Amino acid sequence: MAIDGPSGSGKTYTALRCAFALSPSRKVAVIGTEGSQDDDAAEKYVGLPDPDHAGQTWEFDILHLSSFSPTEYTAAIEEACRAGYEVVIVDSLSHAWEGKDGSLELVGRTPGNSYTAWKDVTPMHRRMVDAILNSTAHVICTMRSKTEYILEEQAGKDGKPKQVPRKVGMAPIQRQGMEYEFDIYGSLDWSHILTVTKTRCPSVDGLTVVKAGAGFMAPIIDWLDTGTVTDPPRIAPKCTDDQCNRIVELAEQLSWKIGRVTVETVKKFGCDALYQLKATEADETITWLEGQVRLAANKKPARKPRGAAAATTAPVEANGNGQHDAAEPATVESTTTTEADTSSAITEPAVPSELTDPLNVPITPGVGPHSDQLDQIVALVNDLVTGGMPRETYREKILAKRGVKSAKELTPEQAAELIDALMAAVDRQTAPDGPDDPPF
C-alpha cells in the first residue's frame, strides 16, 4: 500500500493508523529518513494513544536511514521481515529517488551518458521494489508529492465570491509509474482527505475518506482474509563474513581493488556493497572470481612471430630517467606459418605485428612507455582478440582515441591508463553475464 501527499497532509499519521489496524500483534516497524525535512516525523507519535483502539498506545520500532540508496532500503525491508514484524512503514520512499545517494544522485555521479548510468541504477531500484512486493510483512510506503497552488472560488464574509488559493499535491516524487506496483494507492490532500486512486480491492475503489483509520482498513482486511493462504516467500539469507572475506581474498590474488568486484556486483545483482549480497549471490561471485584466478594462472606470455627473434633481441638498457633505450631493430620482412603452427593459429588468432612484437618501433628515450608496460599491453590485447574483439578495434578505436598510431608513442602515464582500461575490458569479457562493449 502507498500513500502520497504534500508536506503536512498527514502521510505518516495515516500510515500508522492503517498499520496498527493491520497488525493484531501490534508488531510495527518504521523505516525513517533521518536528516530530511521529515526528520522525526514518526518518532513524535511513539507512545500516543491509538485513536482506533481504546486504552492502547502506539509503540513501534524505528530504523533511521542516513543514506537513501535503493540498496539501503532493500536491506532495511528484508531485515525487518527477518525480525518478524507484521507491518513495515517506509517513510518516505521519495528519498530513494531524489534524496542523498538516491537513484537520481547515483545517475548524476556516473560519468558518461545517462543511459549507461541507468544500466547500473535500474537493477538497484528494481531490487528495492521486489523487496516491497515479496515482503513477508505488509508494507505501507509514503511518498511526497509535488506541490502546487490552485485558485478556488469561495464565498467571502460579505457573501460575495472570491478566489482563494489552495495547496494541492500533484505527481508523487518517485520513478514514473511507481504507483502501479502497489495493491492499494491513495492520495492525501491538505485537508487530510484520502482518495483511493488505484486498488485491487473492489470495496475501496474510488473511496474518499477523511482521516483514514481502522474503519477504512476494515474492508481491506476482509478482502485479504478471502484470499488463498500460501506459504510466504522466504527471504534469502544474507552473505556471511566468511563469504565476504573469501571475495576479498580472491580479489587480492588477482591484484584487484575491491571496487572492481563491486562494479560487477552492481551490474549483475544490483548491489553497491559486498555485505548487501545474498548468500547465493556471494557464492556465484566467488565461483566467478575463482575462475578468474585460474584464468590468470593459465595465461601464457604473448608469443613473437617466427623470424622476428633477431628483431626483438636488441639490448634494452635503463637510462637515468627510469626509461629504456633500445637500438632500432631490424625490420621483419615476413613471417611464415608452418604446418606445426596450425593448432596455435586456431586458438590464438593472428593479430597485428605490433601486438606480438612490442619492439618493432623504437622507443624515444625519456618519452615512451616502459618495456614491461608494452609487454603487458601486448598480452592484454592478445587476450581480448582471442576472446572475440575485432583486431581492427585496437588501432581504429583504442589507439586512435589516444591520438597515437603505436603504443610506443604513449607516455608512461598514458600506458598505465591504457593498461587499466584493457584489464577492465578483459574482466568484462570473462564476466558471468558475458561480454560488454568496453568503453575505450
Q: Which CATH class is domain 2-225?
A: alpha beta
Question: What pLDDT is stored for residue 156 in this prediction?
Answer: 76
Q: What is the pLDDT of residues 172-203, one digit of tens each?
A: 889 888 888 999 999 998 889 999 999 999 99
Question: What pLDDT is stored for residue 431 in this prediction?
Answer: 60
For the entire predicted model, the pTM comes to 0.54
Distance of alpha carbon 115 from alpha carbon 121, whole angstroms: 10
Distance of alpha carbon 110 from alpha carbon 263, whole angstroms: 12
Give me the half-sphere count of Cα atoms (radius 13 Å) on the Cβ side of residue 330.
Answer: 9
Q: Which of 423, 427, 325, 332 shows the shortest CA–CA distance to 367? A: 325
Rounded to 10 deg, the angle between the 241-253 and 279-298 helix axes is 20
Handedness of CA 352, 353, 357, 359 (dihedral sign): negative
Rg of the chain on CA atoms, in Å: 31
Q: What is the pLDDT of residues 273-310, one digit of tens each?
A: 677 788 888 888 888 888 888 877 776 554 444 444 44
Q: What is the pLDDT of residues 20-39, one digit of tens each?
A: 999 989 999 999 985 444 45
pLDDT class of 45 with cuts at 50, 70, 90: very high
Residue written as grid cell 485537508:
191
Q: Tell me the average pLDDT across 378-382.
A: 81
Question: What pLDDT is stored for residue 126 in this prediction?
Answer: 87
Q: What is the pLDDT of residues 399-418, one digit of tens each?
A: 888 888 888 888 877 887 88
Question: What pLDDT is stored for residue 371 in this prediction?
Answer: 66
Phi, psi angle pair for 38, to nearest 5°: -100, 20
High-pLDDT (> 90) share of the chain, %: 32
Distance of alpha carbon 296 from alpha carbon 300, whole angstroms: 9
pLDDT class of 367 with cuts at 50, 70, 90: low
- Out of 153-157, 178-182, 213-217, 269-273, give the one with best mean pLDDT: 213-217
- Judged by average pLDDT, the poorest of 7-11, 73-77, 184-188, 206-210 is 7-11
Question: What pLDDT is stored for residue 230 in this prediction?
Answer: 64
The grid coordinates listed for 39 are 526528520
Q: Is it the case that residue 312 has pLDDT exceeding 80?
A: no
Q: Would strands 184-188 and 28-33 be described as parallel, antiparallel, or unpaired?
A: unpaired
Q: Which residues pair with 141 in a beta bridge?
A: 2, 90
- Cβ proximity of 55 and 109 under 8 Å: no
The grid coordinates listed for 246 are 573469501
Distance of alpha carbon 258 from alpha carbon 249, whole angstroms: 10
Q: Is it the case that residue 264 has pLDDT exceeding 60?
A: yes
Q: What is the pLDDT of residues 101-123, one digit of tens each?
A: 999 998 888 777 676 778 778 88
pLDDT, mean over the chain: 77
Question: What pLDDT is stored for residue 333 in this prediction?
Answer: 39
Question: What pLDDT is stored for residue 376 in this prediction?
Answer: 76
Residue spans of the domains in the chain: they are: 2-225, 241-298, 301-306+341-440
Q: Is it the case that residue 17 has pLDDT exceeding 90?
A: yes
Q: What is the pLDDT of residues 335-359, one digit of tens each?
A: 343 433 333 332 333 333 333 333 3
Rounded to 10 deg, the angle between the 412-429 and 258-269 helix axes is 40
Q: Which residues pair with 57 in a beta bridge?
A: 49
Q: Which residue has the higher pLDDT, 233 or 242?
A: 242
pLDDT class of 167 with cuts at 50, 70, 90: low
Question: What pLDDT is stored for residue 258 in this prediction?
Answer: 67
Q: Which of 81, 270, 243, 103 shows the shortest CA–CA distance to 176? A: 103
Distance of alpha carbon 124 from alpha carbon 68, whole angstroms: 12
Q: Which residue has the higher pLDDT, 436 or 91?
A: 91
The grid coordinates listed for 307 are 623470424
If 0-12 CB within 10 Å is exposed, 13-18 middle and 19+ buried, where does residue 54 land? exposed
- Judged by average pLDDT, the poorest of 126-135, 214-223, 273-282, 294-303 is 294-303
